[in-house]
Amino acid sequence: MTVAADGTVQSSDIYQARVRNRARLAYNSVAVWLDGSGAIPQALAAVSGLAENLRVQDWIAQRLKNLRHVHGALSLETIQARPIFDNGRLRGLDVEKKNRATEIIEDFMIAVNGVTARYLAAKNFPSIRRVVRTPKRWDRIVELAQAHGQTLPANADSVALDAFLVKEQAADPARFPDLSLAVIKLLGAGEYVAERPGVTVPGHFGLAVGDYTHSTAPNRRYPDLITQRLLKAAIAGRAAPYSYDDLGELAAHFTEEEDAANKVERQVGKSAAAMLLESRIGEQFEALVTGASKKGTWARLLTIPVEGRVVRGFEGLDVGDQIRVQLVSVNVERGFVDFASVHSARQFSNRTSTKA
């Protein structure tokens, strides 16, 4: 990819190549070196020219990201926790955060996925796209913004939403992940769809890109492997190995299987959370409502990255409401963490506060 100073990809090409790794680097150590808070990693310094190369990559990645945000890519920050075990005993939940090194990979992958989608379209190939549709619950996002003194347009507008998010991140960085989580829940999940040559499908609302596929992880994600097979055929001048109808069936299957895999991952996390909290039944915590539907109401604790179901006092609650809950029960085997709402603070809502 040839990237201009303003972050636009001016030209691109796709071809087969072999990669030679010259150093094994870790995200965190590279990140502290990039932002000036730590020394250069020894493995990085040992390879002549690699430091300069990474500086250029960082510079380009930041400009790719900035341009996406100009077009409405959303500035979101979530708390992702993974269980930490020590000699078979759960020691706690480790929170993973983005940094400058992870952003290099993320921003380049987003750009590559766009290039890949456009390349296949130019070759008149069908493809599998990754889409995040216009949020169905935009009205609730508007309510959250109003509670923060901001006005969003009545119709979904990613540029306006990102401007609101950037302002809130600067005003209250400590609580911004909570607001981000509420917005993410309201945006809805991504899905895979097949695109026929010459017919445009919905883009990715959260990234503010129209052409987007998954192509960079064929070793761990099957949709990427399908895309790699399409690319190899296109490069070689062969016919597409899949028809549009084939890709439509695969896309629906991939979305279903991704949902199933996510449920398993969540189950593991919930069991770890239940194990961590089983000695704290009866305690009260501040929490954020993360889900509210006929299937149930869910909340995540603000002090510990644990999500559970609100089994009592959930009436009238909606995504983004801040509430106080009491831990009433846990089930490690089934991954159940159950709360009772003590009262609703409604910090993220401008509706009338209720107590339950």
Render pLDDT for 250-299 as a digit per residue (tens, 0 to 9).
999 999 999 999 888 888 888 988 988 999 999 999 998 988 888 899 99
Average pLDDT over every residue of 56-85: 86
Average pLDDT over every residue of 125-141: 92
Residues 6+ apart with CB under 8 A from 146: 152, 350
| Pairing relationship of beta strands 322-331 and 336-344 according to DSSP bridges | antiparallel
**CB-CB contact of 263 with 294 (8 Å):** no
Which of 17-31, 64-78, 172-186, 333-347 ranks highest by mean pLDDT?
A: 17-31
Between residues 146 and 303, the one the model is more confident about:
146
Q: What percent of the chain has pLDDT over 70?
A: 96
Interatomic CA distance for residues 314 and 330, integer angstroms: 18
74 confidence band (pLDDT: 50, 70, 90): confident
Render pLDDT for 140-175 as a digit per residue (tens, 0 to 9).
999 999 988 999 999 999 999 999 999 999 988 877
> What are the C-alpha distances in Å from 64 to residues 60, 121, 198?
6, 22, 26
On the question of pLDDT at 232 being above 50, the answer is: yes
**CB-CB contact of 118 with 111 (8 Å):** no
349 confidence band (pLDDT: 50, 70, 90): very low
311 confidence band (pLDDT: 50, 70, 90): very high
**CB-CB contact of 131 with 212 (8 Å):** yes
| Pairing relationship of beta strands 2-3 and 9-11 according to DSSP bridges | antiparallel
Tokens of residue 59, six digits = 């510079």
The pLDDT of residue 325 is 95
Tokens of residue 331, six digits = 């089930």
User: Tokens 């072999």 label which residue?
Assistant: 18
Q: How does the average pLDDT of the chain come out, rounded?
A: 89
239 confidence band (pLDDT: 50, 70, 90): very high
Q: With the CA atoms of 270, 274, 277 and 279 taken in that order, what torsion angle do they form, in degrees rounded to the nearest 10?
A: 180
344 confidence band (pLDDT: 50, 70, 90): low
Question: How far, rounded to the nearest angstrom, does the alpha carbon of residue 338 sit from its chain's CA centroid?
Answer: 26
The pLDDT of residue 254 is 96
pTM for the predicted model, two decimal places:
0.80
Average pLDDT over every residue of 210-214: 91
Domains and CATH numbers, the chain: 2-133+190-267 (no CATH), 280-356 (2.40.50.140)
Between residues 300 and 232, the one the model is more confident about:
232
The distance between the two most distant Cα atoms of the chain, rounded to a whole number of Å, is 66
> Phi then psi for 47, rounded to 5 degrees?
-105, 115
Long-range contacts of 136-140, Cβ-Cβ distance < 8 Å, separation of 24 or more:
136/188, 137/186, 137/188, 137/319, 138/186, 140/186, 140/318, 140/319, 140/320
On the question of pLDDT at 29 being above 90, the answer is: yes
Q: What percent of the chain has pLDDT over 90?
A: 63
Query: Amino acid identity of 190?
Result: G
The pLDDT of residue 345 is 54
The pLDDT of residue 193 is 96
Cβ neighbours around 130 below 10 Å, total: 23
